[in-house]
Structure formats: C-alpha cells, structure tokens
Structure 1
Amino acid sequence: MSGFINKVVLIGILAKDPEIKMIQSGDNIATLVLMVNDSWENRRTAQQINKVEYFKVVVFSKNLIKQIETVIKKGDQLYIEGQLRVRKWYDEQKNNHYSAEIVLFSHNGILVLLNDNNIKEELLINQEASS
C-alpha cells in the first residue's frame, strides 16, 4: 500500500461552550468537547443500552476559529472531520500521561453546524490553505 489515512468523522452535541486561547506562537486555538451518544440492544436481555462518549477536539485553523468564536455554542449539533492525534504529557510528579484528541488543521479540518433537523444550516469548511 502506498498511502495511509488518519481520518475521524464525528457527529455529536457540543457539551460546553468552545474555549479559545492563545498558544506560545501567538496563534489562537479552539478546544471543543463533543458528546456522542451510542445505543444498542443487548441481545441476551433485549435491554436498550446507551453510552455517552466525550471527545476533545482541538482546532488550529484560523478560519474555523473565527467561525467558532461567533457562531458555535453549547448544545449545537456538529459534524466534524479531522485527524486522531495522541499527545504525551507529564504531570507535576513527572508521570507520563497520554490523551487522544481530534485535531482540525488548516489543510483538512471540516466543521459543519447542523440544525435540529440534522440539515446543514451553515457549512464551515476551511479554505485557509488557499489564502
């Protein structure tokens, strides 16, 4: 195989308002927490099982961050395409920790705001790479 792919697609509800902060380079990043509900029926008991997962989404795209600051809020339903990244970090006691994040970069991040009817209300596709 000559190529590889790292792509994550999620549809979920924004669990809290976006956080925008400046990093050392002077650029802003946006952090989102996306709540995704999964449900299935237990074959043995016929009981309906619901499980909620929370995903951290980090946005580095300047164009998407501008839209996130003005349009996106807690409770919005979002469609997100990005890459899975595992970040290694150390706590104060020098213990290793790992966290998985969905990352939206300038060249490949897509964020779509969906309305209550799951119809595309506003498409926020990043075009920053061309500017």
Structure 2
Amino acid sequence: MNRVILIGRLTRDPEVRYSENGHTVARFGVAVDRKFKKEGEQAADFPNIVAFGKTAEFIEKYFYKGSKIVIEGSIQTGSYTNKEGQKIYTTDVIAREVEFGESKNPNNSTNEERPSPDNAIGDGFMNIPDGVEDEGLPFN
C-alpha cells in the first residue's frame, strides 16, 4: 500500500500550470516537522507535492506560502535526463485530497463575526416580546 498523510506549511506559493487540453497541475513544497531528531539533523523535511485537476484548482485558490495544509496522497518516483545528460531521480507526493490545516483566524475564539438578532441581549438570550405566553416555549 502506498499512502502518505502529511501536515505542514507551504514553503512557496503553488506553481500552477494549465495544459492545452484543460488539465490543471499545481506544484509546491511543504515543510513537515520531524517528530524526533538527532543532534545535528534538520528538524523538518521538505517534500515536493504535485496535485492535479480540481485538487490543484482548490490549492491555487486557497493556499499560499506559509499556509498550513493536510495532504493525503501517495509517493511517486521517477527520473529524467537533464540538459547536461545526467540522469536525475525524483520523488514526489501526489496529492489526492487536501484540507485546511488550521482555521482562517485561529486566535479568534469569540463569535464577533456572527451577526446577532436585533432583539438579542448581551448575554446571548433573546428578549421575549410582551404578550407572548411562555407556555409554548421549550423552557420555563
């Protein structure tokens, strides 16, 4: 089974390209913290990510350098010969699904953005207009 789940931050803005036949491809890097590290080792890994189609379009629209992202996909290896004639080996993570790694504003723990009804009291309860019988209400 070839399955990878990564949580990290984009190291650069996604590079998005469109083919002549309408296919979308997004490429970007992610910094993924290592759980354990030995003395003198780097504290993170930097895998290259490739996404296609709707996933690539979603990434292009909502993610940028520094965004935290959750990626589910698979590892794909390949090779090519560069202009100097050297064979270059590649390892990429092919993203099948992505999610936001954090909320848009993680420091905002209040509901300030949520509009309140015109007849709301500061404690979150609504005023009951005069003349309404409380027998039909779901509480006493």
Query: TM-score scaled to structure 2, two decimals?
Result: 0.65
Kindly report the root-mean-square deviation, in angstroms, between the aligned alpha carbons of the 2 structures: 2.2
Taking the aligned partners of 1:17 and 1:93, their CA distance within structure 2 comes to: 29
Q: State whether residues 39 and 48 of structure 1, in contact with CA within 8 Å, keep that contact through their aligned partners in structure 2.
A: no
1:55 corresponds to 2:47: yes
Please tell me the residue identity of whatever aligns with 2:61. Answer: T
In structure 2, the partner of 1:114 is 101
Unmatched 5+ stretches in structure 2 = 107-140
Q: Point out the structure with max Rg over C-alpha.
A: 2
Q: Pick from 9, 14, 22 the counterpart of residue 18 of structure 1.
A: 14
Q: Which structure carries more strand by proportion?
A: 1
Q: State whether residues 40 and 50 of structure 1, in contact with CA within 8 Å, keep that contact through their aligned partners in structure 2.
A: no
Taking the aligned partners of 2:11 and 2:85, their CA distance within structure 1 comes to: 30
Taking the aligned partners of 2:50 and 2:77, their CA distance within structure 1 comes to: 12
Unmatched 5+ stretches in structure 1 = 118-131
In structure 2, the partner of 1:28 is 24
Taking the aligned partners of 2:54 and 2:29, their CA distance within structure 1 comes to: 19
How many percent of aligned residue pairs carry the same amino acid? 21
Query: TM-score scaled to structure 1, two decimals?
Result: 0.69
List structure 1 segments (4+ residues) > 2 angstroms apart after TM superposition.
22-26, 39-42, 47-50
In structure 2, the partner of 1:8 is 4
User: SS of the residue aligned with 1:40?
Assistant: coil
